[in-house]
Each structure stands twice: as structure tokens, then as C-alpha cells.
Chains A and B, each alone.
Chain A
Amino acid sequence: MSAEPIATFASSLEDLGVDLVRTAADEFASTVAPLLDAPAVGTPLPFESATLPDSVETDPTVAELEAAATGVTAAGYGIADYGSVVVQGGADGAEPVSLYADEHVAVVAASDVLPDMDAAFDRLAEDVRSGTRQSIVATGPSATADMGSLVEGAHGPMDVTVVLLEDR
């Protein structure tokens, strides 16, 4: 993957007010630990050598899920033009983990950052055909203007941080 989508991804995230943290896989644990406000919940990451700290509860109860400050999940891919991450939850629980905590920390591999929606929808279609039951194109935190002015955190996280795994 050329550097261009990554640079675009970084500037799109900046426009959205989403923090971007870059890390090499072997430094993942030490980079990620300070980002995870306790209590943290998560789903196991599919990246070799990037595993979650023990403090992250990966089999939360409903109460733990609702009380979580941080929810960390992998994201299948990123979309550079929009600063979006695609959360592909399933039986592993990525959907509730990315949805109930105050902050969602999404971990995406640099090689999975796609340039634009065109490329993203080709991948999304491919995934659906091979059995992925849900893909959320998530861009920034949940938000509403229904109560008179813009409020972040509307039935979803009020903060999002993207962790970019640079060598996979």
C-alpha cells in the first residue's frame, strides 16, 4: 500500500477530531495500554503479535459492557477519503463492544486502509458474499442534533480513537 491513502486517512481523521495513534506491531501493547481508560472491554484482535493487555475484559457481562469506559476492537479496513473504519462484528461481540463503551478504540492495519468508497464497497460486497453478516462503516463518534445542538455520544461512543498497525 502506498503512503498516499495513509496520509489522506490521517488528515480525514484529523478533520473529524478522531485521534490517530500509529504503532509497530511489536510495540502494540505498550502503545495501546495508556489509551485504554478503565474499565475496558474488548474483542480478541486478529493481528499476529498484537494482543490486548490482560486488563481488557474480553468476555464482559451486560453490566460490565454498559459500564465500560473503553471498548477496543479490530476494524476490517479503513476508508482514507472519509476517515471511516469498518467494524465487522459477529459472534465475537465486536458490535456491542464498539457500541456501548464511552470510547471506541479501533485497531486497523495500515495495509487495510483503502483509498475511497469505491474500493470500500467492492470489499464490502465481497465480504457479504463470503458470509460477513454485518459491517458498520463508522465515521467519528455517534452524534445527534435532535436536542437543539450537536451532542456527541448518542446511543453510541462519544469518542473514537484509531490505532494504525504499521507493519503487519
Chain B
Amino acid sequence: MSADDRRRKAERIRHLLDTEGDAVHENTQVFNEGRYESTENLDDYDELKDEARAIKEDAIERLPDLVDRVTEAVEANGGTVYLADDAADANRYLAEVVDGRDVVKSKSMTTEELDVNESLEGSGADVWETDLAEFVLQVADEAPSHIVAPAIHKSREEIATLFNEVFEPEEPLETAEELTRFAREYLGEKIRDAEVGMTGANFVTAETGTLALVTSEGNARKCVQATDTHVAVAGVEKVVPSVEDLQPFVELIGRSGTGQDVTSYVSLFTPPVDSPTFGEDDLEPGDDREFHLVLVDNGRMAMREDDQLRETLYCIRCSACANSCANFQHVGGHAFGGETYSGGIATGWEAGVHGQDSAAEFNDLCTGCSRCVNQCPVNIDIPWINTVVRDRINRGKDGDLDFLVEGLTPDDEPGGVDPQKRLFGNFDTLAKLGSTFAPLSNWVARTDTARALMERTLGVDSRRELPEFERESLVEWFESRGPRVSREAARRQVALYPDAYTNYVRTERGKAAVRVLEALNVRVDVPAAGESGRAPLSQGMVATARSNAEAVYDALAPAVAADHDVVVVEPSDLAMFHREYERLLPEDSYAALKDRSYELMEYVYGLLENGAGVDALPDGDDERVAYHSHCQQRTLDLEPYTVAVLEDCGFDVTTSDVECCGMAGSFGYKSEYYELSVDVGETLAEQFTTEDTADRTVVASGTSCLEQLDALLTRRPAHPVRLLDRE
């Protein structure tokens, strides 16, 4: 990306933060909290997710067969099925069916994907969106900013102003009730007069040709009942085997999306339906209603053949990945989205249906924080899809022509990778150099000239303070100091993993970790293991991440083989060991390291639970502490251990509840994203500057979180292990 492109991107994000950020934040927050609450009350939540996942895996596996079956079933019911190859094909068929008649539509992202409205209007039809949010967007001539609540970026006041300007009602509209009533009546007439009702489908069952529509408004039901022709447009991936298979999805989709246990209506139509339709004055028999099911490929069958993108087809479009995403919560789908889809999973959808360029527009907004992973009702590894697509985007840019540069780069990537990504992806090399030449390297890096150059050529924002490298790395410090607990006296033996930040930048937390473990009678070693691969992975440099992972495994394998435990200070690196290494290392290496590795405070908790005396650690003496856990640490469910250890030691602990600090490794350094990063961070900073928290000692587990908090608070934050260190 050129400096100009970065500036334009930053400007666009700034504009959206100013104009839409507040409404998006407020609304996604309601959905996000609602989801946590509603899923917590569901006893068999995890089992239902596994069941839903299994149904989707099976359905996509057998998709061609299921499409044949649904075609037979719909035809036997008296309807027709059209399998559309792409948008043009679908639109051509739809124009033929509609034939210039008036159309009322219920909400359908798939018709957004195909630009159905424009196409039908072009062929002379009147088309009305009857979902109230879609109606607002139709009137405003805007695109959805959220896949479930498409007008989430608009406040009530903005909608009122819009309606009053466009419709000039006698009494100006003001309240949500007035706006709803007005739209309901306005659209009621359109529904009564229309001849074609167009719906989407959340699910289609192959055996019986049944559509399941999940809605809170009654508009989809009305669009079907009030018209003579029902057209349903759905992606081909919506087909599941039978009606029984709908049950886990019905229990999960409302909870995962807007936080409702179930939406007002789950309509099972097996069309053509026979409800009476509207005549001039009387209801007339509905038994000669026409029905057309349009199943859309538009790239989906190719996604099915793609080992990395296939998982995207399991998506039920619930929006949990958007609502649980800190970046999305702050900037919304007009930035965090492509041509049609928005939120974390949109990268997979856009790459599959509109192509990589559409995905490239917003893919970097996924920072890999992983907060969406446990929220997805079909267990899609959304960060991984984002990483893979990023890797493909990297390689797509003249990658294979640049063989001269390739030989000179310090990584395993092709020559075309953006220099900014290459810089952050090779943090290990950078840190090693920075440490070797410290403090000189720090002084040089701090100069205005250097910062201006870095901003211009690499997009490193000059408003962000750079990390300061230590001359003596943690590994070097430990080599000259040596272990302090003898093998004979040791309760356990531990290899403390020196992640790149702990090794070269924040060595103080590594030293504290060594001393705290020793105080609990653990013999510690600090092997010279390199960067985990997190840094290159976050830039989409998968090959480099894999070679880093292999090197780390080689360095830690002797400790693992000797039955020692591996303790990790940096949560994002532990998350690599526990999550991403499954995709980067041979299965048995992954399993061995995963089984043996622990987050530092989790390990301390385990020691205390298994007989180590808490007296060996300092007494917290009711010191008031505000703790921010790390996003990936929380995804692994490891936040409670830090809290428990601190409380055991007598600290008074309160915690943040934001999804992510917004720094996310390199993200907050990038000039195009700096302001978004700070905007996300401010939400965390606000939680730590309340009446209750303003005077608390601030601790955080992640390096990035510490950097962000350091920038936004006046108190200097530290890793929680520092509170347990007597030095």
C-alpha cells in the first residue's frame, strides 16, 4: 500500500468513526451482551454447536446430492427450482419470473449479493423492501452495515430526519413507535398491491423442500401470504437434509445474533403455500400460488472445493463474529465489510463470491484476536480464514515475478509482500538487531527523521511510541545468571518460553517470572527459542509462521521430551501453541507441546493448587488492582487463573470486559489503523478510569495490551507477575 493509499484509508475510517461509530457501538454492544446472556442460559450450548457444525459439514459434503433431492421435492410440491450459476444468471431468471410486476421483499443478504433490486427495477418492476431496516436503507439509498441489522449505523434521530424529509408527513415523526407505525402502514399498502413476494431462506430442507425463515417482524409471512407468486432466493449452501436438522440452528441463531432466545417467528414454509391471498375486496383461495426457488452458486461450489474456504459455507449468517469483534463494534460494516458481507466471516464470503479484491479492502481489520471463535454457532475458525485470505492477497501482488527480492528477504514469503507487513512479520529479526545495537537503535528510531521515514515508507504511525529494545536479552541474562533451584529440590522443572517481546523488550516481566517460579520451588530454564510465528501469521505470512513454529518446536522439544513443563508469558504465543500450531506442525508435535504448555499465571495457580505455599509470594495486602486479560487468553478461558492467584495473594481485583484492547500486535502501529486502534483502546481506558478503578494499579497480560494502556492511561501498567515478584 502506498503512503497515499494509507492516508485515504485512514481518512475513510476516521469519517466512519465520526459519523457511524457511536450508533454501531451502542447497537452491537446490546447484541454482544445479549448473546453472552442468552447462551449462558442454554444448558447444552456446546453440544448444540457441535451438532449444528456436524449437520453443516455433512450437508456441504453431500451438497450436489442434496440439491438434486430438494429439486425433486419442490417440483413434487408444485414449485420450480432454478440453479443459478452467477448473479447475471440469477437476475436474468428473476426478471423473467417477475415480468415487470410489483415485488415486495423480505430481508435477504443473498439478493444484496446479486444486486437483485437494481436488476428488477431496470426491467421495469417496482421493488419494495419491507424489512424495516432494509426499507430505511432503500429510502436513504445506502448499503447494509451489518448482516442481521442492516441499518445499525443509523440512530433514531437520523431515521426520523430522513423520513420527515422524504415523506413529509403532516405531523413530523419522532419516536421509534411513530417511525415503525408509519413504515408499517406505508409498506402495508405496497404488500397489499404487490403480485410477487420475494424472500430469502435461512435454511432449505432437501427432503421436503421446506424453507425456514427466521424473523422478528411479520413481513416475510405477509410477503408470502399477500401475493400470488412466491420467489425464494438462497445460496446453495443453505440446503440441509431434513426438518429435524433445523432444531439446533433454531435454538442457536437468535441467541448468537441479536441475543434473543428465539426470534418472534420461525416460519416453515413448504411452498407453494395455500393461505388465502388478497383479492380486490375479499380473501381468495391461495391454492394456485406459484413458487420459484432460486438456488445461487455464484462461487459457492468452488468454495466447496477449496480446503481453506469451505468452512465459510457452514456460516448461518448470525452476525456473532461481527458483534463480538472490537474493531467491528467501533467502526461497523461500512469499513469492516466488502461489496455485500461484513464482519469477520465476510472475508471468506467476499473472497468466494466477489473475489479476493473485495476481501482485500477490509481483511486487515481482522486482527486475529480470536474473540469470535467461541461465539460462532458452527465453530468456524474465522481468524484462520482471514489469515489464509491475507496470505493469498500477499501472494497475489506480483509475488512470483519478484525472485530477485525474494532471495534477499529474511522470511519464506514471495517478493510481493507489502513492506509494512514484511516489517511486522519479521519482528524477531528486527528485535534481534534492535537489541544488539541498543541503546543506539532506540535513539535513532526515536528521531523525527527516522519516524517520518518509517511513516512514509512503512506506514508506522509516528504518533505511536516504539518499543525500546534491551541490550541484554532475557536469554542472555539467564545464561549468565543460571538456575537457582537444584534439580533435587525442585517441585517441577520448567522451560520458560522467551517470546520475542519478553526476550528483547519487556525483559523485566521475564525476569519476574523466573523469580516467582523459583520462589515456588520450580527449577527454571530459559532455552533460546525464537519467535513463535504469531508475528508473521498476523501479517498473513503463513510459510514464515510455519518455519518459525518448527524452529520453536525444535528448541522446546528436549524440555517436552524430558517431561518438563513449558511456561509462556505472552498469551498470544500460548494461543499459537494451543490453536494455530495445529495447522502448522505435525499432529503429534502439536499435541505434545499443547499438553505441556501453560500460561504463566495459570501455571502459578496450578502450583498453588498442588501444594506450593502462597506464603512464598508477597502479601497483596488488599492492594486495589484493575486487571485486563488478553483477548486470546480469554478465548482459551485462561483469564480466571490470574484473577484467582491475585486474590489468593490478597489483592483486590476488578477486571475489564472489553473484547480486545485494540492494539493487537502490529495493528495499532499501522498509520491507516492508528485512530481506530485508539478508539477501541479508549473503551478499555474508560473502564479503568471510573470512580472505582481510577486509583487501582493496572495490570495486563499481553504485551500489546500493556502498550495500549501505557499510551492511554497516566498510570504505568505491568504484567500481573510483577505483583508477585519480591524484587
Which single member of A122, A135, A156 contacts B217 (CB below 8 Å)?
A: A156
Interface positions of A from 114 to 157, Cβ below 8 Å from B: 117-118, 120-122, 124-125, 128-129, 132-151, 153-157
A91 adjacent to chain B (CB < 8 Å) = yes
Which single member of A60, A117, A136, A142 contacts B250 (CB below 8 Å)?
A: A117
Whole-angstrom distance between the Cβ of A62 and the nearest chain B Cβ: 5
Interface positions of A from 15 to 46, Cβ below 8 Å from B: none
Given contacts A82-B262, A136-B267, whether A121 and B131 have CB atoms under 8 Å apart is: no
Interface positions of B from 250 to 303, Cβ below 8 Å from A: 250-251, 258, 261-276, 278-279, 281-283, 285-287
B208–A156 touching, CB < 8 Å: no
Docked Cα-Cα span, A131 to B554, in Å, equals 63
Q: Give a binary string over B576-593; 1 marks a CB under 8 Å from any A CB, 0 the rest.
A: 000000000000000000
Chain A interface residue count: which class?
Answer: 35 or more
A142–B217 touching, CB < 8 Å: yes
B218: A residues at CB distance < 8 A: 99, 142, 154-157
Docked Cα-Cα span, A120 to B246, in Å, equals 11
Q: Among the listed stretches B149-157, B344-352, B559-567, B618-626, which one makes contact with chain A, having 4 or more residues with CB under 8 Å of it?
A: B149-157
Docked Cα-Cα span, A95 to B264, in Å, equals 15
Residue of A nearest to B173 (CB): A147
B264–A147 touching, CB < 8 Å: no
A110 adjacent to chain B (CB < 8 Å) = no
A134: B residues at CB distance < 8 A: 267-270, 273, 275
Interface positions of B from 201 to 222, Cβ below 8 Å from A: 205, 208, 210, 216-219, 221-222
Given contacts A144-B216, A154-B217, whether A89 and B275 have CB atoms under 8 Å apart is: yes
Q: Give a binary string over A63-87; 1 marks a CB under 8 Å from any B CB, 0 the rest.
A: 1011000000000000000101000
A90 adjacent to chain B (CB < 8 Å) = yes
Of B27, B133, B149, B268, most A-chain CB atoms within 10 Å: B268
Given contacts A62-B192, A154-B180, whether A138 and B265 have CB atoms under 8 Å apart is: yes
Docked Cα-Cα span, A94 to B184, in Å, equals 21
B283–A133 touching, CB < 8 Å: no
A145: B residues at CB distance < 8 A: 27, 30, 149, 258
Interface residues of A, dominant DSSP: mixed
Docked Cα-Cα span, A90 to B184, in Å, equals 24
B103 adjacent to chain A (CB < 8 Å) = no
B265: A residues at CB distance < 8 A: 136-139, 142, 156
Which single member of B208, B216, B217 contacts A129 (CB below 8 Å)?
A: B208
The count of chain B contact residues (Cβ–Cβ below 8 Å) is: 65
A146: B residues at CB distance < 8 A: 131-133, 136, 149, 151, 180
B136: A residues at CB distance < 8 A: 146-147
Docked Cα-Cα span, A117 to B250, in Å, equals 8
Given contacts A63-B281, A134-B267, A137-B266, whether A125 and B242 have CB atoms under 8 Å apart is: yes
Interface positions of B from 221 to 247, Cβ below 8 Å from A: 221-222, 225, 242-244, 246-247
B615: A residues at CB distance < 8 A: none
Whole-angstrom distance between the Cβ of A37 and the nearest chain B Cβ: 18
A154–B184 touching, CB < 8 Å: yes
Docked Cα-Cα span, A134 to B287, in Å, equals 13
B246–A121 touching, CB < 8 Å: yes
Docked Cα-Cα span, A138 to B263, in Å, equals 8
Interface positions of B from 103 to 143, Cβ below 8 Å from A: 130-133, 136
B183 adjacent to chain A (CB < 8 Å) = yes
Given contacts A134-B275, A149-B156, whether A154 and B283 have CB atoms under 8 Å apart is: no
Whole-angstrom distance between the Cβ of B169 and the nearest chain A Cβ: 14
A147: B residues at CB distance < 8 A: 132, 136, 156, 159, 176, 179-180, 183
A62: B residues at CB distance < 8 A: 192, 278-279, 281-283
Docked Cα-Cα span, A89 to B218, in Å, equals 14
Which single member of B225, B246, B271, B272 contacts A99 (CB below 8 Å)?
A: B225
B151: A residues at CB distance < 8 A: 146
Docked Cα-Cα span, A144 to B258, in Å, equals 11
B419 adjacent to chain A (CB < 8 Å) = no
Docked Cα-Cα span, A43 to B155, in Å, equals 40
A142: B residues at CB distance < 8 A: 216-218, 264-265
Given contacts A99-B218, A139-B263, A151-B176, whether A121 and B250 have CB atoms under 8 Å apart is: yes
Docked Cα-Cα span, A118 to B248, in Å, equals 8
* 10 A/B residue pairs, CB under 8 Å, sorted by A: A90-B275, A93-B276, A99-B225, A122-B244, A125-B243, A128-B268, A136-B266, A142-B264, A148-B155, A153-B181
Q: A99-B221, A137-B265 are in contact. List 19 more A-B contacts (CB 8 A).
A: A62-B279, A91-B276, A91-B287, A95-B275, A96-B283, A99-B218, A118-B247, A124-B268, A129-B208, A133-B269, A133-B272, A134-B269, A136-B265, A137-B267, A142-B218, A145-B258, A146-B136, A147-B136, A155-B222
